[in-house]
Amino acid sequence: SHPHPHPCPSSQQDMLRKFASSILPVFLLLSMPLPRETSARKPPSCDTPEQADRLLSLGHASEAISCYQALAVKRPTNAPSYLDVASVFLQVGEARLCDRSARTAARLGAGGGSLLVRANCHAAAERWEDARAAYLEALGSSG
C-alpha cells in the first residue's frame, strides 16, 4: 500500500503555491494605479493655435507653451504663432522667453505687433527703459 497514491498533483500544488506567493506581489504592484504624473501622459493634440489657447484657458500653461512652440516650429514662417508664444510666456511670467519669442516674430516680419509684445515682456521683467524704448519704436513703426 503506497502512502501517497497521487504524489504528483500535491507537489504540483506546492509548486503552484510557491509560484503564486512569489508572483502575487508583482501582480499587485503592476495592477496598482500609478500616480498621475509618472503615468505617461499623452501630449494633448496640438495642431492649431486655438487648441493651444484652449489649453491655456484650462490652466495648462506648460502644455500650452509647448503647444505654441510646436506650432511655431511646424510653421516657422508663421510669425503670429511666435507672438502667441510670446504672450503666453508673458502670462506665465517668463519674461526672458517672452522676449526671445517676440524677437523671433520680429525677425520673421511681425512688425509693430512684435515690438508691442516685446515692450510688454520688458515691462513684465521690470526693465522699464527697454520697455519704453520698445513702445516708442512700436508707435513709430505703426506709421
What are the residue ranges spanned by the domains of the chain? 49-141
Q: Please tell me the distance from the alpha carbon of residue 69 to that of residue 74, in angstroms, as a whole number.
A: 8
Has residue 131 got a pLDDT over 50? Answer: yes
Has residue 99 got a pLDDT over 80? Answer: yes
| 44 contacts: CB under 8 Å, gap ≥ 6 | 51, 55, 60, 63, 67
Q: DSSP state, 33?
A: P
> 83 near 71, Cβ under 8 Å?
no
User: Residues of the chain with pLDDT > 90: what percent?
Assistant: 3
The count of C-alpha atoms lying within 13 angstroms of the C-alpha of 67, restricted to the half-sphere facing its C-beta, is 22
Q: Please tell me the distance from the alpha carbon of residue 140 to that of residue 101, in angstroms, as a whole number.
A: 21
Q: Please tell me the distance from the alpha carbon of residue 57 to that of residue 40, in angstroms, as a whole number.
A: 23
Has residue 92 got a pLDDT over 60? Answer: yes
CATH class of the region 49-141: mainly alpha
Check: pTM over 0.75? Answer yes or no: no
Note every long-range contact of 70-73, with CB atoms under 8 Å and residues 24 or more positions apart, other chains counting: 70/46, 71/46, 71/47, 72/101, 72/104
Q: DSSP state, 76?
A: T
